Amino acid sequence: MDVSISDISTLSLPEGAEITVKGWVRTRRDSKSGVSFINLSDGSCFNSLQIVIPKEIFNYQSEILKITTGCSIVVNGCIVKSKGREQNFELRAEEVNVVGWVKDPDTYPMSSKRHSIEYLREHAHLRPRTNIIGSVTRVRNCIAQAIHRYFSEQGFMWVSTPIITASDCEGAGEMFRVSTLDLNNIPHDSNGNVDFKEDFFGKETFLTVSGQLNTETYACALSKVYTFGPTFRAENSNTSRHLAEFWMVEPEVAFSDLEQSAQLAESLLKYICKAVLLERKDDMNFFVQHVDSSAISRLENLIDMDFITVDYTQAVDILVDSGRKFDFPVYWGVDLSSEHERYLTEEHFNAPVIVINYPKEIKAFYMKVNDDGKTVAAMDVLAPGIGEIIGGSQREHRIDVLDERIIEMGMNPDDYGWYRELRTYGTVPHAGFGLGLERMVAYVTGVSNVRDVIPFPRTPRNASF
Amino acid sequence: MDVSISDISTLSLPEGAEITVKGWVRTRRDSKSGVSFINLSDGSCFNSLQIVIPKEIFNYQSEILKITTGCSIVVNGCIVKSKGREQNFELRAEEVNVVGWVKDPDTYPMSSKRHSIEYLREHAHLRPRTNIIGSVTRVRNCIAQAIHRYFSEQGFMWVSTPIITASDCEGAGEMFRVSTLDLNNIPHDSNGNVDFKEDFFGKETFLTVSGQLNTETYACALSKVYTFGPTFRAENSNTSRHLAEFWMVEPEVAFSDLEQSAQLAESLLKYICKAVLLERKDDMNFFVQHVDSSAISRLENLIDMDFITVDYTQAVDILVDSGRKFDFPVYWGVDLSSEHERYLTEEHFNAPVIVINYPKEIKAFYMKVNDDGKTVAAMDVLAPGIGEIIGGSQREHRIDVLDERIIEMGMNPDDYGWYRELRTYGTVPHAGFGLGLERMVAYVTGVSNVRDVIPFPRTPRNASF
């Protein structure tokens, strides 16, 4: 029977069961009595499987003793109970076929010694063979599946919003241009400007920074929708929290206000954390032992604690009254920076915090203006250990107020024709938020740099692989 | 109690239950006896809910009688059994609040009359309010969720492959350039060439045409993986089957051959069709009535029938022997065109067909060369009613043969360094395929143009919304 290593425990295979497993060798050691032990990994779970190979096997001398880390093998054998090891069983090999050798084993980049996370990044095509990146991949998958499952269970429809766009959602983002123009022969119009009429889409196009404006159109028809796909920022930010290409989930709900959106955010985050603790105990134990000792307890706390909602104005008061000297000064009207957010969530409240009602000057044009005329119905969800993890808002659904805001921000209402029509044809209060997948995976695993939680990171001057 | 329209049947709410529903008005009609009937849709399912509004309601004259198609309303009322209608229940309104009016109802683009599918495309921000696009959206969601669920149940890990890439998977695709270079001031190197060192990533970058090469790296560590994301073609194809931006699911399995990949493809397609028939009976009935009378029977057939595997060489013989006059001539070595594929699947076999072992000259460099030296282990899955829906292959895992193929195709092995290393470090036979989401949704629904099964289609000269 062909099985994966994770099957062996989930299927509760009995001792003596004949199985075939396939995978890559982590380590080999040979006992003096003429038995070899191989740790085999197939990526299906954190644990590798110990293979016990008696010297009687026909290719013991010719092949088994030459097996090195990274070789691929197929093993037939019987399950036996093992004593005194972490795992309860091992495989007594009856036949071992070497499928792929490792060329020049001494220089194999993923040798069994411990490598730095920066070194692994340089070998992104081989790093999933390591414990840490294997675990990150399984947890990332678990989180993504949990997100789809959560929204599905709640009656949301996944909609795919366009990646290539002619509009700039935020009104200010730094964007990548998408083009098929020949750079050696740029067409110009009669005024000497680049003639994008000649480009593939007949106009200037970019990579999306958010699917929100598009999800609003579907929310205003299907009530509960979400988009989950890649988004882009052409920012020259070389930090542990920024990627030029990252995945974002953005729910949008009709007939919904900021408070309900905050509840949805809390519920989603708790659902994700529960799924990880339930389904990826193996990988989370690894993170606790080798990356961040609080990886599990942090998630347990997030699940147990009620999120605290605090007004931006009140948050500023707390920060001013703290007596703490921050690098960036705090006053009403300032955008909270990371140090402020972390003080609030990690020190003052020691709980997840949802800051709401920000000054309208520091937020986007589409956010609903509150009755005070000064603030908008925006929220940021802050979690201990990472800071801001979700940003969202109730959207301005009143056409007159929306138009005022567009003009106030120096933009042209005519550029937002279809978006404005959602407000003239059966407008409804609606709200949503964005959760960055990589920040969530980093938060959950304790891995500190988002470049290590996405398979092939794109950052300034790096699009390798 | 706040409920969606789909909740009313799934929760089996009893007669007399007090509920609140929210949505958009489809139609209103007024009886002579002073009762108004509104069909309300909230997108949660195909059916709208009939709201019965007695004239005694306080805003009957001032508001109810002014409600038009597209208005958003919130209704409180009691569930009552309805007689002689398609649905079993209706809502007797006690309170109706108009949330959003429709400006200038006579010109509302989504009036209750029937619109052409081309007209709807021009109003992509409002078309999800129609029956057909609402149904497409729910079926598309159902298919996407089924895909994630299927792979999850089978032990696959979702990996996100990069959208921005410096490599060209197919070796020949027409690609979109991604850049932040100032088109009015293109930098040049000392040889007069465009200096991509000055670009964001320090080299020339494009939008991906496939995540396959990247998934192979993860399959060679985690055994079973899949990518599911947007892919791009800068082809000037204005057909009903082509989009510049479309979603593709690409599984990749280590220790797997072409036959197993064909089985996986068959199993996935059947799983998707079963999920749609089970979960979206309401929408499928609509497609049968208004789009394609065989929409359901086609899926039932696909589920019931064993897929037929046929060698390319044999397929060519069948086509030659058919006596049929094709627009494109058939001979060994030709790439099968749509008319050939449809003859095979719709006329000759009248079943889904998997054509395998194509001439190597017409296939990509990474496909495994068969023992005959002339063909490669490629497959195309053809389904009656649409033709090719899946393309895949076993990958060449032998470094010497891969290198020969790369050189044979006029490419440089040095450009494939990391890809080649998968063959020198524990190489394994592996295989996978690609399924285009939009073609699948078109196939399932019977909607004939892929522009109508993705929310905001991107095609030559069109990146609206």
Rounded Cα distance, B185 and A230, in Å: 29
Residues in chain A with CB shorter than 8 Å from the CB of B4 are: 155, 223-224
Q: What is the mean pLDDT of each run of 10 residues along chain B (465 residues)?
A: 93 92 97 95 97 96 97 97 75 97 96 94 97 98 98 98 81 84 94 94 95 97 98 93 96 98 98 98 98 96 96 98 95 95 96 97 96 98 92 98 94 91 98 97 96 98 94
**Residue A126 with chain B: CB contacts under 8 Å:** 217, 221, 421, 425
Q: Identify which of A145, A223, A463 has the shortest CB distance to residue B43.
A: A223
Whether this model's ipTM surpasses 0.85 comes out as yes
Q: Which among B108, B157, B463 has CB closest to A425?
A: B108
pLDDT score at A172:
52
Q: Do A162 and B458 touch (CB under 8 A)?
A: yes
- Looking at residue A225, its pLDDT comes to 98
The Cα of B388 is separated from the nearest Cα of chain A by a number of Å equal to 23
CA of A348, closest CA in chain B: separation in Å?
A: 36
CA-CA distances (angstroms) from residue A140 to A147, A288, B80?
Answer: 11, 16, 47
Residue of A nearest to B226 (CA): A141
- Chain A closest-CA separation from residue B169 CA (Å): 11
Alpha helices in B165-294 (DSSP H): 212-222, 258-279, 281-290
Cβ neighbour number for residue B195 with a 10 Å cutoff = 14
| Distance between A365 CA and the closest CA of chain B, angstroms | 18
pLDDT of residue A173: 65
Arithmetic mean of pLDDT over chain A: 95
Share of residues in chain A with pLDDT > 90 (%): 91
- Put simply, the answer to whether A207 touches B456 (Cβ < 8 Å) is no
b/e sequence A162-191, b meaning 16+ C-beta within 10 Å: bbbbbbbbeeebbbbbbbbbebeeeeeeee
Q: Name the residue type at position A351.
A: A
Which chain A residue is nearest to residue B162, measuring alpha carbons? A456
CB contact under 8 A, B44 and A134: no
Question: Is A463 in contact with B179 (Cβ distance < 8 A)?
Answer: no
β partners of residue A18: A78
Interface probe, candidates A63, A71, A160, chain B, greatest B C-beta count within 10 A: A160
Q: How far is A455 from chain B (nearest CA, A)?
A: 7
Question: What is the model's pLDDT at position B307?
Answer: 97
| Smallest Cα distance from B350 to chain A, Å | 33
Size of interface A-B (CB pairs under 8 A): 322
- In this prediction, the residues of chain A whose per-residue pLDDT falls under 70 are 84-87, 168-173
DSSP B75: E
Q: Which of A213, A148, A216, A158 is nearest to B136 (CA)?
A: A158
Question: Quick check: A425 and B126 CB within 8 A?
Answer: yes
Contact B425 A103 (CB under 8 A): yes
pLDDT, residue A272, reads: 98
Q: Which of A45, A107, A159, A222 to mutate to test the interface with B (most CBs of B within 10 A)?
A: A222
Q: How many CA atoms lie within 13 A of B251 on its CB side?
A: 28
Q: Which chain B residues contact residue A427 at CB under 8 A?
A: 72, 99-100
pLDDT at position B173 is 65
pLDDT of residue A88: 82
Q: What confidence score (pLDDT) does residue B9 get? A: 84
pLDDT at A285 (0 to 100) = 98
Do the Cβ atoms of A202 and B23 come within 8 Å?
no
Q: Do A99 and B234 touch (CB under 8 A)?
A: no
Å between A320 CA and nearest CA of chain B:
39
- B141/A158 CB distance under 8 A: yes
Q: What is the dihedral of CA B258, B261, B262, B268, to 10 degrees?
A: -170
Structure confidence at residue B81 (pLDDT): 87
Judged on CB neighbours under 10 Å (0-12, 13-18, 19+), B193 is: exposed
CB contact under 8 A, A419 and B125: yes
